[in-house]
Amino acid sequence: MDQERLITEFHQGQCIEAWHLFGAHFSYEGAQGVRFTVYAPHARNVSVIGSFNDWDDTKARMERTGFSGVWSVFVPGVRQWDSYKFRIEDTGGHKMDKSDPYAFYSETRPETASKVFNLHDLRWDDGAWMAERSVGFEKPVSIYEVYAGGWKKNGKYPYTYRMLEENLIPYVKEHGFTHIEFMPLNEYPFDGSWGYQASGYYSVTSRYGNPSEFASFVNACHRQGIGVIMDMVPVHFVKDAFGLRKFDGQPLYEYRRPQDAESQWGTLNFDLWNEEVRSFLISAAIFWCRIYHIDGIRMDAVSNMIYWGGNRDRGTNEGALNFIKRMNYYLKKEYPSVMLIAEDSSDFPKVTASTLDGGLGFDYKWDLGWMNDTLKYYETDPLFRVHDHHRLTFSMAYFYSERFLMPLSHDENVHGKKTVVDRMWGNYDQKFAQVKNLYAYMFAHPGKKLNFMGNEFATFREFDEKKELDWFLLEYPVHDSFLRFFTDLNRIYVSHSALSEGDYDFGGFHWIDADNARQSVFSFYREGSQEYLLCVMNLTGAGYEEYDVPVPAKGTWMEIMNTEKDIYSGCNMCNYEPLRTRSRKEPARFPQFITMRLAPFAAVWLTCPKKKKRTNRSM
């Protein structure tokens, strides 16, 4: 690597491979060893201390590289897995021990030292997957969001990367998901932060194993046709003394003004105006894509970058906006097939527009408005849903302003909000009937899908990082049949292109009846290149033996999903025979209609193939 070029780009905020310059790298400089390099421009002296030199700061003093603020030293005899820190002496003579911001691996908490690891040891055989993957605009995307430490436990310990490879991948495959999204797997000191308060942006957490084992997990996912998405937190970092806070005795990664540096989470905000910080974070995002073949990055708390402190009244943070655009520009340039996903609660425009068109450059944005409106509606007593009818229709009024992803994430299963199933109105049976209706609506609605682990079998207990999911619930028929329902939903979603190929096309979705507030019945259809897919939703406890629904095409309509089927613990009020269209006598927008059975709280999907256009052939 051209060190001089990297240093120049680093100071310009344009470096996308800063980990090649900084950190601990094996090399041969007269003897086998490791070269350590760190950025500490305000330091008076810097030393490497570690298990290889008895943590003695006199044995490996680092030298300053010109006036760049970069310190470096070669230490012979250092081996794989050796622990180390940087002992930094500030301008006042005070010494502090810091973990390496660019460490590739770290000690397991509560220990805080960095560990030497050779990235060249990672092995891959996923070339076919990497060549064919895409961001999936026209494809089905059903994401399973996972907290790695709380999916399953081995006794009191969480599953390792090896165990997840052996168990999580087959589970995801069996139940029809296309992607796994991990809550942050960067290193972090406090389990209760779920990884969102990071200390090591290049270090895969040692809680579950080592880098080779994590790479093996990703590689195995790719062999099974499953994408891997990682959460990243480019907004803030932990205050712990061993980390980035006042790294060389002065604010280096955080804002200098305390009112800008202090975050709402008790952490410190990155100074996203600082060019070296920009290089640090952009390189970190590139690092996970290049080194670990990650297929997507979900950026946390984007609204807190758009606005100062996430507060619109404080105005936009122009430096942070420039950082987002630059980071996404480089990510798209280097990895156009990697999904870039914004968790953004604001209505800031053009979040998913290209940076070349003045946008922020994300591929997808979480539709948190849809999530809030939808859950609020399903919480409401059906007697009063007539007044909230708009909550289920409003999303399509703005949907095409961005490329939205529909999330029912960990955020909807914590902090006293209750789990998704428990937020439904009614008694036990009514909750299950309505949560099935909700998911049928979610999967028929345009936009890619994300569900937190446990949603697929309707857990009632809120997420707790100290416990595994309540797998014993699958011993109860209603939960077991719900998992079957969710699996079928995923499989139908993946196999019927009408549900995904027109997600962001105005012609892919059409309301049939968005205004039947009196009966709280909604109907719409998705239009694909091969078929029409009709969705009819009944949101009250009244059932109908004969319910007329206008349809966009003449022919035979077949029911392919009914949330009240008996195999899903429903009342079995279904449409088992094909439904033939009939013609209306009076002029209408849809001249054809079908008459169907519609159970209480049921959601029904029916399909009709498109007729092939005839072509005239001359003899």
Q: What SS3 string covers 542-580?
A: CCEEEEEEEECCCCEEEEEEECCCHHHCCCCCCCCCCEE
pLDDT at 222: 98
Largest CA distance in the chain: 95
pLDDT at 589: 86
pLDDT at 2: 82
Identical fold between 3-121 and 510-609: yes
What class does CATH assign to 510-609? mainly beta
Active site (catalytic) residues: 300, 343
pLDDT at 612: 75
Residue 230 CB coordination number (10 Å): 23
Distance CA 529, CA 552 (A): 14
Note whether 331 and 296 are within 8 A (CB): no
Coarse DSSP helix, strand, coil percentages of the chain, rounded to the nearest 5 percent: 30, 25, 45
pLDDT at 177: 98
Radius of gyration (C-alpha) of the chain in whole angstroms: 27
* Cα–Cα distances in angstroms (integers) from residue 43 to residues 22, 419, 438, in the given order: 16, 49, 57
Distance CA 233, CA 618 (A): 63
All residue ranges of the chain with pLDDT < 50 are 618-619
The correct answer on CATH 3.40.1710.10 for the domain covering 3-121 is: no
Note whether 424 and 375 are within 8 A (CB): no
Tokens of 463: 């997420």
Distance CA 214, CA 208 (A): 8
Domain ranges of the chain: 3-121, 510-609
Kindly tell me the burial class for residue 62, based on how many C-beta atoms sit within 10 Å of its own C-beta (0-12, 13-18, 19 or more).
buried
pLDDT at 611: 83
